[in-house]
Structure 1
């Protein structure tokens, strides 16, 4: 499984619609509206690199209201389980 984060610049006023369309994609694990140079950060997963490229070029970039994307490919992950327990 290959994972990437996609930074999305939406057209003014289209942020909610783009977020909804991103979450409707079966490959989207999470998507969040954010402040900064991009409006949405989405985590997507694909079977392999070829599938991920196809998802980004054929599905994500064709969503109405998306002006620009930046894809960040995850090459390795570690999760600190102590950081996920807030308040302990």
Structure 2
């Protein structure tokens, strides 16, 4: 199982609607509207890196109102 944060920039005034739309996508664990350079931050999980890529490209980036995404895979380093 892999998890990642997706940092999302939206069209002006669309952050709340984008967050609501993303919340219904399978694989989405958490969605937050935020301030700063990004408008929405999403935590997702998928079976593997390929499935993560498909989730981001086919399910999230296609939603109306999204202008840019940045996917940050979570790395768990155990010592």
The answer to whether the superposition gives a TM-score over 0.5 is yes
- Larger RCO, structure (CA 8 Å, separation 6 or more): 2
Which runs of no fewer than 5 residues in structure 2 stay unpaired?
A: none
Aligned to 2:19, the other structure's residue is in SS state: helix
Which ranges in structure 1 are unaligned for 5 or more consecutive residues?
79-88
Find the aligned partners of 2:26 and 2:54 in 1 and give their Cα distance.
Answer: 14
Q: Give the TM-score of the pair, scaled to structure 1.
A: 0.84
Match for residue 61 of structure 2?
61
> Which structure has the larger Rg over C-alpha atoms?
1
How many residue pairs match? The answer is 78
Runs of 4+ in structure 1 off by over 3 angstroms are: none
Q: TM-score, normalised by structure 2?
A: 0.94
The answer to whether structure 1 residue 52 and structure 2 residue 52 are counterparts is yes
The CA RMSD over aligned residues, in Å, is 1.2
- More helix by percentage: 1
